[in-house]
A = this chain, B = another copy of it.
């Protein structure tokens, strides 16, 4: 659950008939959502092919955070450090208006906590253009690799360096749009700082 909170992009796998398609997507999680194990929300344009293909079918949604490069003595033990969550479930089309509003606010707050409450309401036209899909989190599996390489004893005994290069995501200072002015809102500045902006 911590990974689902830390991740920003999910990769959504949809069966397009002759083959799967994998697309990056924003998402949010509601641990107290109406689906078994809590609810994962996705959204997209009602016209998008993957949204239309995904309705009421089994999707796979994967969230991965890359944590490092693992540098071994042997080719075989080179690897990467990461955390990933793989969620498999049937995509339910969210038609209830209150649940849609809630899901869209969660997706914005997942990017920038506290942002949704500062915004005007979505218009009817905006809502009509947006589809929200929901999936239960009951069938979720986590995988994680951390630390240095698992080299074979012979390679360790032969000496030589091994280790890992840590990787993380870092934010820069928020940039004001060319047609905007005013102070950077507190929730945006907080988010950038939480993600390491100087």
Please report A residues at the B interface, Cβ cutoff 8 Å: 8-9, 11-15, 18-24, 26, 57-62, 64, 66, 69, 71, 73-76, 78-80, 82, 84, 86, 88, 104-105, 107-108, 111-112, 115-116, 119-123, 126, 129-130, 148-149, 151, 155-156, 159-185, 188, 191-192, 195, 197
Contacts and interface: CB of A to CB of B under 8 A. Distances in A.
Given A111-B80, A148-B180, A176-B161, A12 B8 contact: no
A75 B62 contact: no
A176 to B, nearest CB: 4
Contacts of A164: 174-175, 177
Copies of this chain, whole number:
2
Contact of A88 (B8, B11, B19, B151): B19
A165 B192 contact: yes
Given A182-B161, A195-B167, A24 B176 contact: no
Given A80-B111, A160-B182, A179-B156, A71 B188 contact: yes
Given A22-B60, A22-B86, A162 B177 contact: yes
Contact of A167 (B105, B115, B172, B180): B172
Given A82-B24, A116-B75, A148 B188 contact: no
A165 B197 contact: yes
B161 A184 contact: yes
Given A11-B11, A148-B177, A111 B78 contact: yes
Given A11-B13, A166-B175, 7 more contacts: A8-B167, A24-B62, A74-B122, A149-B177, A161-B183, A167-B195, A168-B172
